[in-house]
Amino acid sequence: MEPPDPRNLVPPGRTAPFSVFVGLVLVVAVLLSVGPMVSFAGTLPDLPAAFWTMAVLAVACDARPFLPPGRRPSSSAVFPSTCFTFAILLGWGLGPAVAVQAVAVLVSGARMRHTPWRVAFNAGQYACALAAAYAVTRLGPGGIFDGGRLGWTDIAAIGGAGVAWFVVNYGLVTTAVRLRFGERWWPNARHGLPFELLSTGSLLLLAPVLVTAARASAALVPLVLVPLFAVYRMARLTVEQHQLAALDPLTGLPNRKALLSEVNEQVHRHAERAARGEPGARLALLLIDLDRFKNVNDALGHAVGDRLLVEVSARLTDVVPAPDLVVRLGGDEFAIVMTGVDDVTEARALADQVVRVLAEPVPLDGLPLDVGGSIGIALYPEHGEDFATLMRHADVAMYDAKHRNDTVAVYTAESDHNSAERLGLLADLRRVLDAGAAARSAADTPGEAPGTRDGDTTPVVRGGDGAALTANPVVRQRGAGRWFRRRHRPPVVASDDELIARIVTGADPILRRTARPVDPAAVPGEPWSGPVGAHRPGDEGTPFAGAAIGGDPAGDAGEITMYYQPQVAIATGEVVGVEALLRWRHPRRGMVDPEELIRVAEQSAVMRLLTRRVVDDVVEQLAKWSAAGLGLRAALNVSVRDLHTGEIADQIADRLTRYGVAPERLQLEITEGALMADPRRVLTTITRLHRIGVGIALDDFGTGYSSLQHLRRLPLSEVKVDRSFVLGMTEDSDDAAIVRSTIELGKALGLRVVAEGVEDEKTWRMLHAAGCDAAQGWFYARPMPAEELVAWLGRYRPVRPLGGHDEPDVPRRSPR
């Protein structure tokens, strides 16, 4: 069923003011035209044939008005009667012009199914416009077409009359639109003004020519139909071209251009609906992408793929009710514009119907083709208030559905990896990396070997921040204190505000430890009831706590530092290595979540700069520790992009040589997900690193679905049990069994096994009983900067499990 024309309806709550306005227009029109109409009735027998010819043509032409291209029937149409009635006004006065215009309005109103009140208003607005034009002509010398020669004053009067007709007519129409449709009347009126000036102005300017021709002979009047018909045909061709430009040639559905126009128009309508407090004030944009269309194209050819798209478009058209719009964007992407939505559940319901329709196989040439689709939903105004934003957010939701192996997803900011906030974070990350690179270049003087200066026999080692630190020639024994002097810290300005002082203290781990009241249990050497080497109260804190106070948002992107978490041999309690963890203290966001940091960086070339910075910092820190007599092994994580390019192998080899660090002191951790992304390229890079002498550890083992065949082929030295299994092994027998099996598998392959996420003593003892080699977690120590790590090592005492390998009791699952 065709929806009713909105211009025949008056929105609730606006009936009274609009009705008053319509009534006033009709009253004014009657008062202005009643006298001329009475006079016109008495002159009917004396009117010439030229008048009757123009009157018939005016009524006949308005039976088929011209609709502007791209506009709906609810918008203003172009009525050719304007040309004839204005010519009648100039030649025979106001009464005949109003009478002919009223008849033409009745005919066009019946043809376009206008309501009676709308027909009456149209007749009234034209009567007022003709009266204004007639008044302007009376300001001239009078008798414009009485047979005399036209002068400049006559021409000026005709031009002024045309302007008066247009201003009054357009002003009455826009006022009526404002009273009916709210505050957005002016953008719509301004948008339509150029077209109205061109179309209506051309008809008004043709009227004097028509009157002049009528003076010569009435037979010349119909000749005006030739240029009018030519203009009409040109306009029709333009309409058809606009329609073809807005249609997809394969499926016949509207295309992206039509979608843009439809969404922009519907956004305005729904904004007006929301302002009036009406239901259905939301608009849903559904973006559909076929899942296996490329397989059909590759296997059966593009001709079959085109037939499949035609069938899919037919199914979408059948399932989507009017007046919702189905659009083909290109390729295997479609879109649906759903109007009058109250909440997202309605859009989800339609999306589920579309999914069910697409899930049914499409039979082509006796072969059932299974495609399916993923749908992303964006809702106006929650997810965007314009076409570009809604389209981008629907696209984000659609890819989110694909990544989650789901069929339908609604846009959420969390799934938008390219949001303005994350793009700003990416820009800040590049700034802080560029600043660090500039500082490093300034610190390294050309001609000097790294870590030494001419004429100075004392080794100079540079830390990750580029600061030169002189190593103590006397190597202190473990437990005797710090290996290095603490980096000079800027003075902390005390605040009179107690709350601000507490925030500043809580954000800085060193100030937090200094300000905490001394607890005998936290002082090295004092009795401590917990396990030796376990987490003492004085070591508590979180690397994510607190936010940087101050900082210039425009010029300060924060500071990137490396934190290190000890890895401890379970059997002996000896610290055998550390894992290097990246931390970024942002001036406004505080400590940035490391997962978000990597996720943002991996989407761009910034990942390469970040990896270079991490490798430089870790290798320099190893050189610094070596110069002080500390032989720790450091493990660092690398991304998928690093393993695919292979550039990381050259960089590590160069840094190890430059700083004189033994390759076995460095270990790279790769995840199963990175391995499975492209096993061949990853294996090539790993093999090169193995030949250099760098250790390779498989991180998060058990979470990436890698096969044992890959595990056997990789040159691994270590397997790390994922923390998700370790954390639950004391409460879940399945997790405990997975951990034990992983340890046994690693032992059988000759690999060292390290458990992550060791949080308590019971887990630690269970790992010892299972034969795990090493562990890391908060049971031993939190991640900390290099300086704090040295201090922690100074007071650390090895932890050795007592007794044999008896495994503590683990809750067993009830029999199934």
Closest CA to 668 of 610, 619, 598: 619
CA angle 202, 208, 209 (to 5 degrees): 85
Residue 606, classified by CB atoms within 10 Å of its CB into exposed (0-12), middle (13-18) or buried (19+), is: middle
Rounded to whole angstroms, the Cα distance separating 463 from 212 reads 95
**CA 796 → CA 253, 497, 522, 568, distances in Å?**
72, 37, 12, 11
Considering 756, 759, 787, 788, which one is annotated as catalytic?
756
Q: What gap in Å lies between CA 775 and CA 753, rounded to an integer?
A: 8
Contact 623, 660 (CB under 8 A): yes
Check if the beta carbon of residue 10 is closer than 8 Å to that of residue 18.
yes
Q: Are 570 and 775 in contact (CB under 8 A)?
A: yes
The pair of three-digit structure tokens given for residue 772, joined into one six-digit string: 């795990």
Give the 3-state secondary structure of residue 24: helix
> Is residue 673 helix, strand or coil?
helix
| Segment holding 380, helix H or strand E | strand 373-380
Q: How far apart are CA 551 and CA 504, in angstroms?
A: 13
Are the CB atoms for 633 and 577 separated by under 8 Å? Answer: yes
CA angle at 288 for the pair 286 and 294, rounded to the nearest 5°: 170
Is 756 noted as a catalytic residue in this protein?
yes
SS (H, E, C) 797-815: CCCCCCCCCCCCCCCCCCC
Q: Could you tell me where the beta strands, DSSP code E, fall in 418-491?
A: 460-462, 468-470
Burial of residue 488, with CB atoms counted within 10 A of its CB: 0-12 exposed, 13-18 middle, 19 or more buried:
exposed
Residues across the chain: 816
CA dihedral 568, 569, 570, 572 (to 10 degrees): -120
Q: What is the DSSP letter of 632?
A: -
Q: Report the candidate in 210, 43, 29 with the shortest Cα–Cα distance to residue 102.
A: 29
Comparing CA positions, the residue from 360, 313, 307 lying closest to residue 333 is 313
3-state DSSP assignment of residue 755? strand
**Residue 187 is encoded by which pair of tokens?**
């953008």
CA distance 235 to 229: 10
Q: Which run of H or of E encompasses 586? A: strand 575-586
Helices (H), 636-722: 640-645, 647-659, 672-677, 679-692, 708-713
The DSSP secondary structure of 281-333, one letter per residue, reads: -EEEEEEEEESSHHHHHHHH-HHHHHHHHHHHHHHHHHHSPTTSEEEEEETTE
Quote the CA–CA distance of 457 and 449 in Å, as a whole number: 12
- SS (HEC) of 141-173: CCCCCCCCCCCHHHHHHHHHHHHHHHHHHHHHH
- Burial degree of 126 (CB within 10 A; 0-12, 13-18, 19+): buried
Residue positions annotated with a catalytic role: 756
